[in-house]
Amino acid sequence: MRKSAQLNPVPLDSNADSHLPAPVFHDPKHHIKIFQGDCLEILAKIPEACVDLIFADPPYFLSNNGITCHAGRMVSVNKGDWDRSRGADANHEFNRAWLAACQRVLKPNGTIWVSGTSHVIHSVGFAMQQLDFKLLNDISWIKPNPPPNLSCRYFTHATETIIWAAKNKKSRHAFNYKLMKETNHGKQMKSVWEVLPPGREEKLFGKHPAQKPVALLERIILASSNEGDLVLDPFMGSGTTLVSALRLRRGAYGCEFEFQSLNLSLRRICSELVQVEISVSSLQISVDLVSRSMDRSRCTQDRAARMSSQFQLVHKELRFHFIGGTKREVIFSVLAESLDEARQKFLASGLSDSNLFFIVKTQTEIYLV
């Protein structure tokens, strides 16, 4: 369960942040913003030297009509036009451009982590050297159960490389060494990590072709940032970076171009923010017969007829709970037949939409067994 203490203020004032486009999602309490659009355009509008940690999972340029194996079936590797190669030179120039944009927004002691396969990671590393980043580590992420190689002409691809780099040679980067050692059972953590791919519970709201596991992002964030720091993901994808940052009490910015990925991220993040606990303290149903003379023969027949159905619906209601934006608690609750009716009652109570962050609908049905 998350602690109730507040995040430290993210060092961004309203004036510095005013050049950014309107976010598609903004949670001021937890310092989370999500922007839709080209990451280069959005990064150019983020204030200089304000981000503590960046995790980037850029296009691998693998969508070349190839095939791979997934769940025992042959499937295409094409992820979308955003992952299609434009040629080695164009791909490298793209990597230089977004890395330079990230370097500008990093704080003097900030760091960046970039994940990729051999198709892109060498370009990323070379671009980092050209831009005078300080290379700290290259992590080998081992996938314990990788898909088999269908052509049988290569070794099975079982790893990805994650480069960790500081903004420049003068950076005094954060590294929570003791925590990483404790996590590794009292031994120094090596640069070879075995982390399972995202499990079923991480895909409840949909799947993304390049989704990273929460365990991987949580380790990265814990290793190189502190509570209250600002984390940025320029290629947000399924939103794993922001979900992990939220759980670990960091602020987070995310950029995403594709609507489907953006929608998936919003569903995942909102599920983290809204946790509903419902309890039934008392339920009384009277089954006593009325105290007057009556013909019970028909009641017996009716009961026999009802027994043909296993359960009988005895109560049903829709209730809408309005969650406040400042204090994350129910500020208004009402029975209604629809969201529109509930909102009209909410406005009639004297409250306004500016007081809101979420609306939660609960449906209660009670069945007689």
Longest dimension (CA), the chain: 96
Residue 6 has pLDDT above 90, yes or no: no
Over range 131-142, report the average pLDDT.
97
What pLDDT score does 72 carry? 53
Orientation of helix 240-247 relative to helix 259-273, angle to 10°: 20
pLDDT: which is higher, 154 or 167: 167
| CATH fold label, 25-273 | Rossmann fold (3.40.50)
- Tens of pLDDT, residue by residue over 117-132, are 988 999 999 999 999 9
d(CA 46, CA 271): 27
In the chain, pLDDT over 90 holds for what percent of residues? 54
pLDDT given at position 1: 31
Give the percent of the chain with pLDDT over 70: 79
pLDDT at 167 over 80: yes
**Would you say the C-alpha torsion 239, 245, 249, 254 has a positive or negative sign?**
negative
pLDDT for 75 beyond 50: yes
Between 155 and 72, the more confident residue is 155
Q: Which residues contact 270 (CB under 8 A, 6 or more apart)?
A: 358
Confidence band (pLDDT; 50, 70, 90) for 246? very high
Which residues touch 247 (CB under 8 Å, ≥6 apart)? 2, 214, 218, 272
Rounded Cα distance between 169 and 61, Å, is 30
Task: Return the top range by mean pLDDT from 7-11, 135-139, 348-352.
Answer: 135-139
Q: Which of 291, 212, 290 is nearest to 245 (CA)?
A: 212
Contact 140, 61 (CB under 8 A): no
pLDDT at 9 over 60: no
Over residues 244-273, the mean pLDDT reads 92
Q: Quote the CA–CA distance of 358 and 329 in Å, as a whole number.
A: 10
The segment(s) of the chain belonging to CATH 3.40.50.150 are 25-273
Give per-residue pLDDT as tens, 255-269: 999 888 899 999 999
Residue 11 confidence (pLDDT): 47
Residue range 327-366, pLDDT digits in tens: 788 889 999 999 999 999 999 998 888 888 889 898 888 8
Task: Report which of residues 314 and 296 the model is more confident about.
Answer: 314
| Per-residue model confidence (pLDDT) at position 279 | 56
pLDDT of residue 77: 53
For the chain, the average pLDDT equals 83
pLDDT score at 4 = 33
User: Which of 4-8, 139-143, 154-158, 275-279 has the weakest average pLDDT?
Assistant: 4-8
Per-residue pLDDT tens for 31-68? 999 999 999 999 999 999 999 999 999 998 775 655 55
